[in-house]
Amino acid sequence: MPERWPRVVHDAVTAVLFLTRIPIPWHVPDVEARLGRSTPWFPLVGVIVGGAGALAWWVGAALANPLIGAVAAVAATALLTGAFHEDGLADTFDGLGGSPERETALAIMKDSRLGTYGAMALSLVLLGRVCALVSLGGHAPAALLGAHALARFSSLPAIRWLPYARADGGTGKPFAGGVSGAGLAVAALFTAALTLLLWRGSAPVAWLGAAAVGGLLAMWFRRRLGGITGDTLGAVNQLCELACYLALLGVGA
């Protein structure tokens, strides 16, 4: 029975359930308790999502052109995740752009309505992702696979070392402080091996780009909000993915 599978399998499936809309045809026991332990599997979920994007790129490029392929790739990844990270990006910029006061910013971020700052951030990042994938041309499928894995890894250091900003809970609360040193190391090794395989000599530059963006965002969130929320983790994901594409373009990948 799937319910009797090893704990590590259920932890991995929990990551899939949380980060995507992929249906799982069996019951996963104690999902809430597994959320914190599922974080080392985030990069693997990124491979799944990036793989769907790569497949969509191939189909779109084959049937039409690289622009259609890039749009199809971005659309496919958003559909597979329910635009989970895109929503977090928009909410983050609505809150941080809407008020300099911590509590007011956090309250704005909980509002489901889309504001000007969020719409601008979302539009620019989506446009940036499409343009970058078009510019990457035939390298786009490998870029999608690696960037989605690295973007999901990029949230793990923030989860491990930054406090949770809300006192009343939220989507990111179960993960706060839930990344162990061993889990972070395993996720880092997996992501490093994958990106080296896909990008070879360009991988360190992409890692530096993602690290720089993730580090700057972490400092910003700590100063403005006192820590992270689920929305800010979505923003980290989206901006680090874009940073990977731009870094690869910068080295001519």
Give the 3-state secondary structure of the chain. CHHHCCHHHHHHHHHHHHHCCCCCCCCCCCHHHHCHHHHHHHHHHHHHHHHHHHHHHHHHHHHCCHHHHHHHHHHHHHHHHCCHHHHHHHHHHHHHHHCCCHHHHHHHHHCCCCCHHHHHHHHHHHHHHHHHHHHHHHHHHHHHHHHHHHHHHHHHHHHHHCCECCCCCCCCHHHCCCCCHHHHHHHHHHHHHHHHHHHHHHHHHHHHHHHHHHHHHHHHHHHHHCCECHHHHHHHHHHHHHHHHHHHHHCCC
Within the chain, what is the greatest distance between any pair of CA atoms?
52
pLDDT score of 34: 78
Dihedrals phi, psi of 158, to nearest 5 degrees: -65, -40
Provide the mean pLDDT of the chain: 92
Sign of CA dihedral 178, 146, 234, 100: positive
Q: 31-90 pLDDT, tens per residue?
A: 677 787 889 999 999 999 999 999 999 999 999 999 999 999 999 999 999 999 999 999
**What is the C-alpha separation between 131 and 125, in angstroms, rounded?**
10
Percent of the chain with pLDDT over 70: 93
pLDDT score of 148: 98
Length of the chain: 253
pLDDT score of 11: 86
pLDDT score of 192: 97
- The arithmetic mean of pLDDT across residues 110-139, rounded, is 96
Q: Which residue has the higher pLDDT, 45 or 166?
A: 45
Q: Which of 58, 46, 53, 73 is nearest to 195 (CA)?
A: 46
Q: Minimum mean pLDDT among 33-47, 84-98, 127-141, 221-235: which range?
A: 33-47
Q: Minimum mean pLDDT among 9-23, 27-41, 175-189: which range?
A: 27-41
pLDDT score of 169: 64
Confidence of residue 1 (pLDDT cuts 50, 70, 90): very low
Percent of the chain with pLDDT over 90: 80
Confidence of residue 173 (pLDDT cuts 50, 70, 90): low
**What is the C-alpha separation between 78 and 118, in angstroms, rounded?**
17
- The arithmetic mean of pLDDT across residues 14-36, rounded, is 83
pLDDT score of 103: 95
